Structure 1
């Protein structure tokens, strides 16, 4: 097979680790050492003159700190170098306007993580169908949940290999995220149909062909009752805490249990999103979505003292529902999955998709009678149907009329696409 028919793909794969209690303590110590090293680097950066802030000087400062501070020695040297590179990359991202300036990392408000930059240090082997083994520097051999075939053993090579990993801790424990590089066959153009997609709160995904994708609650009734009880318990304990007093162990344990239930709900939501977006990307060749300004949509309605907002509680509840559906993450998944399967994803302007009648094309005030029902007020039309289905049809119509948005290079600005001959209306 020629090299032109192959494409290099880089992706990540996250797996759950099965650590022994002693190994958990070792990985925790490494994560705290990495966080402390970041803070020392930030203090060094603020203290040094601008002409002395170089990678070589920072590397020398790290080596000196590791020799003088005993507990920093638990962090492998390669992981310490990864902290240094990440810190300098954070400043580069800040200078290019992509992120804010890096700052100190607090003990309880930052995700704990340790980087393993060299893939050859992992020495991955598969034990049986459900579990594999990986080597973690200064920790030892650890089991991890095997849920995806990785390029190890006879499947590994110069182009198919694991280039590194990162240990990440969340409310459900420690996980390992592998960085995988693979050489795959370039996908052929997807021959599936075109479809418009409307995202919403009551109906998470509505398609222009009438298909809908919905889900239930992410927690069972028993889990929701437990979460409510824990939140009430935490509120009572916070109410009896004096100002400036440290958080008690009982309150911290309550917070850990709350975080565990919320992490379980998020994991179930991610599982639904992955399965749903994979099915859509395999079924359709061209996907069209709205270019939503989600950050502006979830702004608070609280207002100011001089001009207080209205319906603040209702708007707050809507904002929580929008955050829970994670529309941006859904579009991100669809983007890379359609590209991998040979399809394309386009964005169209959001204004007008919910108010326009997809049958006659008129925009009449009052047609959107409720969140779920659309009834065209045009006396010559009178079409009625599901509001989300109507919006999805409008999204596809805007694309066929040549109104797809093209992002400008390096900016979030969009331009009008070249107008094409409209397809026959369905």
Structure 2
């Protein structure tokens, strides 16, 4: 089967190349906004790709600053915009909107892999061609199917240049022909996601991590945040940011980007180990967007414990639960496994040994002690929840019950973890 994957590498641009890339990034964002204007102003019967393509070609002729964007990159903007509307019509995303200068990330598409001209220079460095930018160097951290290794089954089909807080990166789109994965025969597991214990597994183990920033980095971030607020207070409304304030913003963004890279690295390593070991992985089907909503309320009806809820929201966002599940889904599929999402209600209140929900069993946030007559099961609260998740996932896969029943049932017979 064909497998589509991405590989991200750091670019090392000269000063002139950096200016050229930023000009193209601004032009690509402006192109998106102009296409959005054109699309929303026309009647529905006149909206089509052919007319949009003609408008883009005319716009690149009439506006010289749009001409810095390569023609194929401009076409890629149109295709991405149309794809966004398709996703909206099919209910997978919201309608596309304007891209703000400071709220969007610069991105430049190179849709044709043959235009990249990728060459490996030595063990650590590679070189590629970016239209209207020139030959640029990138860190070679993964073998790419280029040169003699490239064929119809395994090749680089395109790339995208993206600007992040620590500079420009390139994301290669790699297509490979891989055999169908054999069915995974390992044990099953349920995973409970939390804050104190990031991942609690039903086999009694935990996957934990330390702070993403060291003490020195955290202190520096705190000082930069204070400096940012102090400099913002001296700025008049509508006045352009000073260079010192802009530099402070950049330093804060770099530290936060460092924390995110470390978090993603930990998630990749952890999810790979879980996908290799277990055949069926059960997780809660959480509405994370609703969980991190602000408790501020309105002026007429203000919320309570607003600061505590804001801290909880930051902690949940920092763990990136949704990204963990996304990684587990495609990594498990690569190895013949499966990820099963089960309803979240009562997974932490139900006893994994007897199946009863008894008031008072959740003694503390970290301890579960069943109060049902004749049970007395004690365990870590997160481990108990992960066992219930594993039981519910097994019922969903084997047909022994309906996932909808776990929302209202007062008792659910426990099942032993089994191989899929």
Q: Distance in 1 between matches of 2:50 and 2:304?
A: 56
Q: Which residue of 1 aligns with 2:23?
A: 29
| Partner-residue secondary structure (3-state), 1:37 | helix
* Cα deviation, residue 264, structure 1: 0.5
- Selected match of 1:158 from 133, 152, 158: 152
Map 1:379-394 → 2, pairs under 5 A: 379-394=373-388
Q: Which residue of 1 aligns with 2:197?
A: 203
Q: Distance in 1 between matches of 2:68 and 2:145?
A: 29
Which deviates more from structure 2 when the two are superposed, residues 216-225 or residues 281-290? 281-290
Q: Is the 8 A contact 2:343 2:404 kept in 1?
A: no
Q: Is the 8 A contact 2:158 2:173 kept in 1?
A: yes
Matched, 1:342 2:363: no
Q: Which residue of 1 aligns with 2:185?
A: 191
Q: Which residue of 2 aligns with 1:182?
A: 176
* Cα deviation, residue 359, structure 1: 2.2
Decide whether aligned partners of structure 1 residues 424 and 252 sit closer, same or farther in structure 2, where only a CA change above 3 A counts: closer
Q: Which residue of 2 aligns with 1:324?
A: 318
Map 1:297-308 → 2, pairs under 5 A: 297-308=291-302
* Cα deviation, residue 90, structure 1: 2.1
Aligned length: 409
| Partner-residue secondary structure (3-state), 2:178 | strand
Q: Which residue of 1 aligns with 2:134?
A: 140
Q: Distance in 1 between matches of 2:130 and 2:29?
A: 18
Decide whether aligned partners of structure 1 residues 307 and 373 sit closer, same or farther in structure 2, where only a CA change above 3 A counts: same
Q: Is the 8 A contact 2:184 2:336 kept in 1?
A: yes
* Cα deviation, residue 52, structure 1: 2.9
- Selected match of 1:127 from 121, 125, 131: 121
| Partner-residue secondary structure (3-state), 2:177 | strand
CA RMSD of aligned residues (A): 2.0
Q: Which residue of 2 aligns with 1:240?
A: 234
Q: Which residue of 2 aligns with 1:230?
A: 224
* Cα deviation, residue 378, structure 1: 2.6
Residue by residue over 1:291-340, the C-alpha shift from the partner in whole angstroms, topping out at 9 and shown as x without a partner, is 11212222222233443322221111111111111111101100100000
Structure 1 residue runs of 5 or longer lacking an equivalent are: 1-6, 406-413
Residue by residue over 1:223-278, the C-alpha shift from the partner in whole angstroms, topping out at 9 and shown as x without a partner, is 10110011000101111111222222211111111011001000000000000000
Map 1:56-135 → 2, pairs under 5 A: 56-135=50-129
Q: Distance in 1 between matches of 2:340 and 2:306?
A: 34
Q: Is the 8 A contact 2:390 2:417 kept in 1?
A: no
Matched, 1:360 2:354: yes
* Cα deviation, residue 376, structure 1: 1.8
Q: Which residue of 2 aligns with 1:401?
A: 395
Q: Distance in 2 between matches of 1:222 and 1:242?
A: 32
Q: Distance in 2 between matches of 1:391 and 1:404?
A: 20
Q: Distance in 2 between matches of 1:202 and 1:143?
A: 42
Residue by residue over 1:83-103, the C-alpha shift from the partner in whole angstroms, topping out at 9 and shown as x without a partner, is 121222222323333323322
TM (norm. structure 2) is 0.92
| Partner-residue secondary structure (3-state), 1:74 | coil
Q: Is the 8 A contact 2:189 2:417 kept in 1?
A: no
Q: Distance in 1 between matches of 2:390 and 2:41?
A: 56
Map 1:281-292 → 2, pairs under 5 A: 281-292=275-286
Matched, 1:315 2:315: no
Q: Which residue of 2 aligns with 1:263?
A: 257
Residue by residue over 1:100-146, the C-alpha shift from the partner in whole angstroms, topping out at 9 and shown as x without a partner, is 33222222221000000001000111112222111111111111111
Residue by residue over 1:38-87, the C-alpha shift from the partner in whole angstroms, topping out at 9 and shown as x without a partner, is 22222222443333322222222211211122222211111111112122
* Cα deviation, residue 422, structure 1: 7.3
Decide whether aligned partners of structure 1 residues 249 and 27 sit closer, same or farther in structure 2, where only a CA change above 3 A counts: same
Which deviates more from structure 2 when the two are superposed, residues 96-105 or residues 279-288? 96-105
Which deviates more from structure 2 when the two are superposed, residues 307-316 or residues 79-88? 307-316
* Cα deviation, residue 415, structure 1: 6.3
Decide whether aligned partners of structure 1 residues 242 and 119 sit closer, same or farther in structure 2, where only a CA change above 3 A counts: same
